[in-house]
Amino acid sequence: MASILVTSSPLLGHVSPSLAVAAELVSRGHRVRFLTGRRHRERVESAGVTFLPLPEAADFDDRDMAAAFPQVAELTGIRGLSAAVLEVFAKPIDAQYAGVTAALAAEPTDVIFSEMLFAGVYPLTLLPRESRPAIGVLGISPMTLRAPGLPPYGMGLLPATNLWETVRNRLLHTVANRFVLGPAQRCLAAGTRRLVNVDLPVPFFEMPGLGDALLHLGIQGFEYPRPNARTELIYVGPMTSTAAGSPPPPWHRDLEGRRVVHVTQGTVANSDFSTLVTPTVRALADRDCIVVISGGGRPESEVEAALVAGLGAVPENVRIGAYLDYSWLFPHVDLLVTNGGYGAVNLALRHGVPLIVAGDTEDKPEVGARLQWSGAGLRLRRAAPSAEEVGAAIRTIEADPAFQRAARRLGAEIDAAPGVDAVEDFITRQLTRS
């Protein structure tokens, strides 16, 4: 049995995949503590994992990011991205590091598993291996590490296919690292020097390569090739949702024998259902199919009110749930329309379901780019497409079986992924080394 510390920023999309790993390790007999925000305490403890609260200076309520980070709320585009990376992920480095070192002082620890954007663990990675626990970085979104021909992370561009694109991508890397991410980079470099007296050797999105391994919670077939990565790459595969097991809704039998399209805006970008849910429902209102909507935690009444406001009524072929157990739902789904949350996309692929992605925040442009690159679906270039755009994309996927073949190919790769066995192997190798 190993003593393990898992660390995560207090964002639900970061906590959930990290907690899935932690819960699996607990079930295998390991001692696991989880350092994150206080609002996630019940979720952590219900998974059988010991909860540790982040210092107050590193904690926030991700349900209201505008209140937590008012200096970012009014900014958009490049300025918004730069400010968000600085405020949400870079500035907490001191407080996060204090939380990690306090946890290490309180109890001997063999391995730290940290989600990739938890800055407070990276100063430790720069210390000699014999003076710290083993550190595995959990890749919870499309991989950020640079490789020849790849564009900068976050732009949603595809790998270079010619000399012009190769040169363009090199220039974009320079612009991204010096200007867009420059404030965050300087903040992290100063923090690393202050905390461990070592220079930070890499740009922001290269930091996940500083650990003893990058344990990517995805599959290689959905990732661009990365030869000669600076750390060991371990493709764990996507983790099963910890929310699985809730009972099916009263309307679940309506899906049997019908074509089913599922649409969701996830759990963060779901304050305005007119961006994607309403256009999708409008595009399918007269089609012979069932449209299943997940409110991402928003009450069913809010989804219904949005549809009435946008369409005048809720079409008869619509079914709504505030939360839906995807382990039950996806075996019935023929197509997913989503804003591109990495977890939902991987769950769809696990079941061989092709997708349409429309999202332009966080990691969603990168998810859409990989979807296009892999052939498992289509991406729409706008976060708020029209009903005509959604309808055209649906018809394109329905007319070409290549999309479903690609989704099923990736689903087979997910089924064959090692899962937590790969995490367990990493732990064993690190304990043997020490």
Is 73's pLDDT higher than 90?
A: no
Quote the pLDDT of residue 280.
95
Contact status, residue 100 vs residue 124, Cβ threshold 8 Å: yes
Domains of the chain are 3-237+417-433 (3.40.50.2000), 252-415 (3.40.50.2000)
Across residues 86-105, what is the average pLDDT?
97
For residue 245, the model assigns a pLDDT of 53
**Residue 301 predicted with pLDDT over 50:** yes
Query: Looking at 174-178, 183-187, 400-404, which range is the least confident one?
Result: 174-178
pLDDT of residue 201: 95
DSSP state of 416: H
Please tell me the distance from the alpha carbon of residue 239 to that of residue 21, in angstroms, as a whole number: 7
Which residue is it, tokens 């219900």? Answer: 46
Q: Is the Cα dihedral 237, 238, 243, 245 positive or negative? A: negative
Q: What confidence score (pLDDT) does residue 269 get?
A: 66
Predicted pLDDT at 353: 96
Distance CA 94, CA 208 (A): 18
Q: Name which of 101-110, 234-243, 299-308, 345-354 the model is least confident about.
A: 234-243
25-29, 91-95, 242-246, 352-356: the lowest-pLDDT one: 242-246
Q: What is the pLDDT of residue 177?
A: 86
How many residues are there in the chain?
434
E strands present in 164-248: 213-216, 232-235
pLDDT score at 382: 84
DSSP 179: I
Could you give the 3-state DSSP secondary structure of residue 223? coil
**pLDDT beyond 80 at 430:** yes
SS (H, E, C) 155-176: CCCCCCCCHHHHHHHHHHHHHH
* Residue 404: strand, helix, or coil: helix
Q: Is a pLDDT exceeding 60 seen at residue 241?
A: no
Contact criterion met (CB below 8 Å) for 418 and 237: yes
Q: Is the pLDDT of residue 266 over 90?
A: no
Is residue 337 within 8 Å of 262, Cβ to Cβ? yes
Three-state secondary structure string covering 343-388 = HHHHHHHHCCCCEEECCCCCCHHHHHHHHHHHCCEEECCCCCCCHH
Give residue 242's pLDDT: 46
The per-residue pLDDT for range 329-379, each reduced to its tens digit, is: 999 999 999 988 898 899 999 999 999 999 777 788 899 999 999 999 999
Whose structure tokens read 């055209």?
392
- Strand boundaries in 96-173, DSSP class E: 111-115, 134-139
Reported as a single tens digit per residue, the pLDDT across 146-176 is 999 999 998 889 999 999 999 999 999 998 8
For the stretch 405-421, pLDDT in tens is 999 999 999 999 999 99
Which pLDDT band, with edges at 50, 70 and 90, does 243 fall under?
very low
Each residue's pLDDT tens digit, 12-45: 889 999 999 999 999 999 999 999 999 999 999 9
Distance between CA 387 and CA 284 in Å, rounded? 9
The yes-or-no verdict on residue 50 having pLDDT over 70 is: yes
The 3-state DSSP class for residue 244 equals coil
Mean pLDDT, range 184-213, rounded to an integer: 96
Beta strands in 275-371 (DSSP E): 290-294, 318-321, 335-338, 355-357
Segment holding 7, helix H or strand E: strand 3-7
Taking alpha carbons only, the member of 242, 253, 241, 248 closest to residue 321 is: 248
- Token digits for 8? 């995560």
**DSSP-assigned letters across all residues of 41-81:** HHHHHHTT-EEEEPPGGG---GGGHHHH-HHHHT--HHHHH
Helix (H, G, I), strand (E, B) or coil at 421: helix
pTM: 0.91
Q: What percentage of the chain has pLDDT greater than the value 70?
A: 96
Q: In terms of C-beta density within 10 A (0-12 exposed, 13-18 middle, 19 or more buried), how is residue 332 classed?
A: buried
Element containing residue 396 per DSSP (H, E): helix 387-399
Q: Amino acid identity of 220?
A: Q
